[in-house]
Structure 1
Amino acid sequence: MLFSIEYWPDPQRGIKEAYRVLKIGGKACLIGPVHPTFWLSKFFADMWMLFPKEEEYIEWFKNAGFKDVKLKRIGPKWYRGVRRHGLIMGCSVTGVKPLSGDSPLQLGPKVEDVQKPVNPLVFLSRLILGAIAATYYVIVPIYMWIKDQIVPKGRPI
């Protein structure tokens, strides 16, 4: 599962399904973005799509029944230092299926309201906000790459 969790309407359900389809001793790996730290990045992340916290990834795996759950932070080569700029870094989470069968996690039925009409103003505002957020998340890494070229190595950027 690679960089798609931010589009899942119910991540816990997807991780539970990954548990179900694995054989005993099989390993699931999920790679996804991590919730940002900077206020503007947080705003766009919260309005645009799902950016889980590292703790949530671990909790979802453990709740689904995975054992030996491990999280590793990942990022581009130029990333160094603290996350004060709020750039979204990623992580990989792995877990091993210890028992055969379905996940021990019991979830209720899926709740989707596809019959409810979409408010055109809400749709348009979310579309515009999403386009702004997408632009922001393209500009920030470019800015950080340029900053990496300017700031001496060994100093956080």
Structure 2
Amino acid sequence: MDSDSVVILSIEYWPDPQRGIKEAYRVLKIGGKACVIGPVHPTFWLSRFFADMWMLFPKEEEYIEWFQEAGFKDVKLKRIGPKWYRGVRRHGLIMGCSVTGVKPLTGDSPLKLGPKAEDVKKPVNPFMFLLRLILGSIAGAYFVLVPIYMWIKDQIVPKGQPI
């Protein structure tokens, strides 16, 4: 099944994003466009720590590299975020981005990947599972509270000033 466009919104949960972008390339028609929307790795140390514990927060450069390696041309990245963001990174959140690329040639992606490396037969360490669950829950709460805090600051700080 060929397509003119593919939009992917769950990339932060994928164990191997490069495979998903390669697959998007495969299903597109020539000239078709793929768009990935996802979070971006934070700059503030505490935000980075929680981002690394919770899920995949790629760097902007990684998104672009994944598209280019899959064979996409005219790759473009645009930062996205809420109104309160105001483009300042003091709080350590870059928020997210959308990355688009155009499929220039027919067929499969030129990228060659080996077999999947996931080992589902290995037993899960219960201590590590519990630790990751707790840290992941704290991280999830952190990434809910920081935007609420920033929204409140946006309501208080005059509009011409960075927050």
Of 127, 130, 140, the residue aligned with 1:134 is: 140
Is there any run of 5+ residues in structure 1 with no aligned partner, and where? none
* TM-score scaled by length of structure 1: 0.97
SS at match of 1:86: coil
Higher strand share: 2
On the 8 A contact 1:48/1:129 being kept in 2, the answer is yes
SS at match of 1:24: strand
Of 50, 55, 60, the residue aligned with 2:61 is: 55
Supply the distance in 1 between the matched residues of 2:32 and 2:145 (Cα, whole angstroms): 39
Partner of residue 4, structure 2: none
1:119 deviates by: 0.5
Partner of residue 10, structure 1: 16
AA aligned to 2:39 is P
1:60 deviates by: 0.3
Compared with structure 1, are the counterparts of its residues 81 and 100 closer, same or farther at alpha carbon in structure 2 (3 Å cutoff)? closer
Q: Mapping of 1:7-156 within 5 angstroms?
A: 7-156=13-162
Is there any run of 5+ residues in structure 2 with no aligned partner, and where? 1-6
Supply the distance in 1 between the matched residues of 2:34 and 2:121 (Cα, whole angstroms): 34
1:87 deviates by: 2.3
SS at match of 1:40: helix
Supply the distance in 2 between the matched residues of 1:16 and 1:102 (Cα, whole angstroms): 8
CA RMSD of superposed structures (Å) = 0.9
* TM-score scaled by length of structure 2: 0.94
> What stretches of structure 1 move > 3 A for 4+ residues in a row?
none
